[in-house]
Amino acid sequence: MFDIGLPELLVILAIAAVLFGGKRLPEIGYSLGKAISGFKKALSENPEIGPPSASVVCKGCKKPIPASSSVCPSCNLKLS
């Protein structure tokens, strides 16, 4: 996704240390970790928000669709 190597990462961490200070960085890291884990937990608990389940295949376009759909979002074919 991102092409960040060790030198770039060190520069980013140095800038963050200058901006926020050494004592504040662990607090920021902890808060960021809690936010990410809360977001992942919410996605896994609510299937409408998370990635669609591909248990049903449309007969018209042969693409996977969410099991709760009554119409294929790709070809608008009504599912029976």
Helix 6-20 vs helix 25-45: crossing angle, to nearest 10: 110
CA distances from residue 39 to 5, 33, 45, 46 in whole angstroms, order as listed: 27, 10, 10, 11
pLDDT-derived band of residue 11, with 50, 70 and 90 as boundaries?
very high
pLDDT the model gives residue 50: 55
* Arithmetic mean of pLDDT, 32-42: 90
What is the distance, to the nearest Å, from the Cα of residue 47 to the centroid of all Cα atoms in its chain?
A: 13
End-to-end, the C-alpha distance of the chain in Å comes to: 40
Please determine, for residue 1, whether its predicted confidence score (pLDDT) is greater than 80: no
Please determine, for residue 68, whether its predicted confidence score (pLDDT) is greater than 70: yes
Percent of the chain residues past pLDDT 70, beyond the cut? 84
24: number of CA atoms within 13 Å, CB side? 7
- Is the pTM higher than 0.95? The answer reads no
